Copies of this chain bind each other. A is one copy, B any other.
């Protein structure tokens, strides 16, 4: 029997999507593929809730994190990075790599940011503010709007990683004023790993067009207006993404988000009932798509659940390693999957 993936990505890829990926390949420079590609991009934009230009890059989610920064930052540019986990840290690392002058506002892993601290650190010459919407390493969902409000009327671009939330939680790219938003195929879309998505606002284009930082494969200017893409497109992966969008359309995005919220609540209540404490310090900042749980026996619990129940949950990273386990409930994960996982957890701690 196949292992049940209750990890925060990659997640269970349903047969509908894997089946679509087994279709014969058509050439990527044909009217037929052009139509499929741009239709897929249009449908993606509806999930992002954006009118902004949206691109699909052949690469993992990190390719898009990199693209967002190397296209907008030049050496010496001031970047403000909100860091409270592995992936928000990655944004700061990438910005430093490209020579940015990075100011980090830290929140403890599992805590929310204080917008007042962000306000104080923000200067008129801040070029870019980076943050993660749904911090996969901690199960914390960060509030975008209060941060975005601080940037109104400024020159600062807002870059948000929504990789592990988009398609499974509310996200309003345009309403929240997100200039660059990133997502990927392997999380709430439940498709195979290998495609990154990025949206680009007009405000961001003004910087990107003239940004001198050398880049080629990830140069967003090459993607703009390409028909359909500047380099060979992974047609098979687009088939998969298209099927994933079909599944979202059949379920309806709002129902899908509701399902994720219900499963998240079920998971939180289940682990608390078993005596565990959540890593996020309060319920209102908990992720819709994964649950991070404190436990000094995390490593043993993960092992037992895998060996005795064939269910894979995840450990934690860096200083939380061995002290936290994470249960993913994203994509096509159902109530029954969550219940089964909770039962396995109960068994593991007996």
Residue ranges of A at the interface with B (Cβ–Cβ < 8 Å): 2-3, 5, 7, 9-10, 12-13, 15, 18-19, 21-28, 30, 57-63, 65-67, 69-70, 93-94, 97-99, 184, 186, 192-194, 213-219, 230-237, 240, 312
Contact = CB atoms under 8 A, between A and B. Distances in A.
Nearest to A191: B236
Given A9-B232, A218-B217, A194 B237 contact: yes
B9 A216 contact: no
Given A7-B27, A94-B216, A236-B240, 16 more contacts: A10-B27, A10-B235, A13-B24, A18-B22, A21-B236, A27-B312, A62-B217, A63-B63, A63-B231, A66-B217, A66-B218, A93-B216, A186-B232, A193-B232, A234-B237, A237-B237
Contacts of A312: 27, 30
Contacts of A237: 192, 194, 234, 237
Q: Within the oligomer, what is the number of copies of this chain? A: 2
Contacts of A66: 216-218
A236 B18 contact: yes
Contact of A18 (B24, B186, B215): B24
Main secondary structure of the interface of A (DSSP, over half): loop
A67 B93 CA distance: 19
Given A66-B216, A234-B194, A22 B22 contact: yes
B70 A232 contact: no
Contacts of A98: 214, 216
A223 B28 CA distance: 29
Given A3-B26, A61-B232, A97 B18 contact: no
Nearest to A7: B27
A28 B97 CA distance: 26
B234 A97 contact: no
A97 B215 contact: yes
A151 to B, nearest CB: 24
Contacts of A24: 2, 12-13, 18
B193 A60 contact: no
A78 to B, nearest CB: 17
A60 to B, nearest CB: 4
